[in-house]
């Protein structure tokens, strides 16, 4: 089947007739009829572009004798690094893509959690003592305190006392539920 026959079939799929299509585009019926009978290559470029736009098909493909759906033009600007990531991603097999997708989803979720939905407990207590639903994330000051405590140089600071008080309040809150 020729590209002109495919084009005619596509037009009739979306419009009642070739004449209805011509009226819609404000192109003389004879122009479209001639194009379908003698070939797309003899038709004015502006006419071919209007037809391609109306049918949502790619003009470059049509000029190469194929009818392909027009791909939307992306308005997103990518950095060079992002383009490199995309190229690398496209070379991965399904297993690799699944791994990258999982990591990306996890990191996106971590970075976009609503702050009021996540309470992070900064505590010097062991992970096993942290109330259920909380995470223990040591801060640099707590790490330093733990180092001093293990070396026998225990230094109580206001920050650590405040962290312990917060931990106690949170434990009471979770135990009361």
Q: Where are the domains of the chain?
A: 3-63, 80-113, 127-175
User: Measuring CA to CA, how many Å separate 172 from each of 124, 131, 176?
Assistant: 17, 9, 6
**Residues 140-153: what's their mean pLDDT?**
49
> b/e per residue, 151-170, with b = 16+ CB within 10 A?
eeeeeeeeebeebeeebeeb
More confident: 156 or 108: 108
In contact, 146 and 124? CB cutoff 8 Å: yes
**Fold annotation for 3-63:** 434 Repressor (Amino-terminal Domain) (1.10.260)
Band (42; pLDDT cuts 50, 70, 90): confident
Given a cut of 80, whether residue 148 has pLDDT beyond it is no
Band (155; pLDDT cuts 50, 70, 90): very low
Task: Give the pLDDT of residue 75.
Answer: 74
What rounded mean pLDDT belongs to the chain?
A: 76
User: Measuring CA to CA, how many Å separate 113 from each of 22, 34, 51, 110, 155?
Assistant: 53, 60, 47, 6, 35
């Amino acid at each position: 089947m020729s590209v002109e026959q495919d084009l005619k079939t596509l037009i009739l799929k979306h419009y009642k007739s070739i004449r209805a299509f011509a009226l819609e585009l404000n192109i003389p019926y004879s122009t479209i009829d001639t194009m379908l009978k003698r070939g797309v290559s003899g038709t004015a470029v502006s006419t071919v572009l209007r037809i391609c736009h109306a049918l949502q098909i790619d003009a470059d493909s049509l000029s190469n004798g194929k009818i392909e759906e027009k791909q939307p033009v992306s308005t997103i600007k990518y950095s060079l690094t992002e383009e490199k990531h995309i190229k690398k991603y496209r070379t991965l097999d399904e297993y690799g893509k699944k791994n990258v997708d999982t990591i990306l989803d996890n990191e996106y979720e971590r970075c976009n959690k609503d702050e009021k939905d996540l309470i992070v407990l900064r505590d010097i207590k062991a992970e096993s003592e942290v109330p259920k639903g909380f995470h223990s994330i040591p801060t640099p000051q707590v790490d330093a305190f733990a180092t001093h405590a293990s070396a026998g140089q225990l230094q109580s600071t206001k920050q650590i006392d405040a962290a312990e008080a917060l931990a106690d309040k949170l434990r009471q809150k979770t135990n009361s539920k």
